[in-house]
Chains A and B, each alone.
Chain A
């Protein structure tokens, strides 16, 4: 089946790094994505990685992809209170997005 799993909660102190993990199932996914959802709002694309890459860095965000283990992670450096939100990883299965279960990140001041 198509299951994308994430840990449900993560709590970090302001200024620390956050690492959100995701495991996916479809090895044919060409792109993998990270989305951010703030309370009561839609999804905002944060970053993505092409499946033939191991790592992608975009300002405070670093995405690591271990294709062998089907493991994706998002590292947020210098986490701020404004980063508090739910983070979803997503893979493409044919043309459809399959979203992970979401990780609720809480940043403590």
Chain B
């Protein structure tokens, strides 16, 4: 099946620093990738949709200047949490949709997640 990786799997940073999280589709091309945030014991909340070669589409309430998304190639999207604060600590999960559309329509493949802890 299609594989999506994330790097790093966990990161601890100081308040005020920026952190970049990478999401890669390893064996397929993805024009669209999605970034989710998951708080402890809660569901996944869609933050933004990342489109290759164009600007990301952010969900209501998500600060685009805070969470910078870049989707420079068909296999890589990055999420940068700028000037991170403790309230940004969370589990960030990305997913990708296969350009070739194998499987079935709208299937998304999920990365293993990145746990961010801001001290």
The distance in angstroms between the C-alpha atoms of A43 and B32, with both chains bound, is 18
CA gap between A95 and B108 in the complex, in Å: 10
Produce 1/0 per residue, A42-78, CB < 8 A to B. 1111001000000000000000000000000000000
A99 close to B104 (CB less than 8 A) = no
Given contacts A42-B93, A43-B93, contact A88 B43 (CB under 8 A): yes
A25 within 8 A of B: no
Whether the Cβ atoms of A31 and B46 lie closer than 8 Å is no
Q: Are A97 and B43 within 8 A (Cβ)?
A: no
Q: Are A40 and B49 in contact (CB under 8 A)?
A: no
Q: Closest approach, in angstroms, between the C-beta of B38 and any C-beta of chain A?
A: 9
- Bin chain B's interface residue count: 20 to 34
- Please give me the residue from chain A that is nearest to B111 by CB atom: A42
**Using Cβ atoms and an 8 Å threshold, which residues of chain B touch A100?**
43
**Residue of B whose beta carbon sits closest to that of A43:** B110
Give the contact-size bracket for chain A: 20 to 34
Q: Check if B112 sits within 8 Å of A97, measured CB to CB.
A: no
Most buried by B among A43, A45, A48, A95: A43
Residues of B within 8 A of A35 (CB): 110
B108 and A41 contacting across the interface, CB-CB below 8 Å: no
Are the C-beta atoms of B112 and A101 separated by less than 8 Å? Answer: no
A41 CA / B10 CA spacing, docked (Å):
11
13 A-B contact pairs sorted by A residue (CB < 8 Å): A30-B106, A31-B104, A31-B105, A40-B113, A43-B93, A45-B109, A88-B44, A95-B32, A96-B34, A97-B46, A98-B46, A101-B43, A104-B41
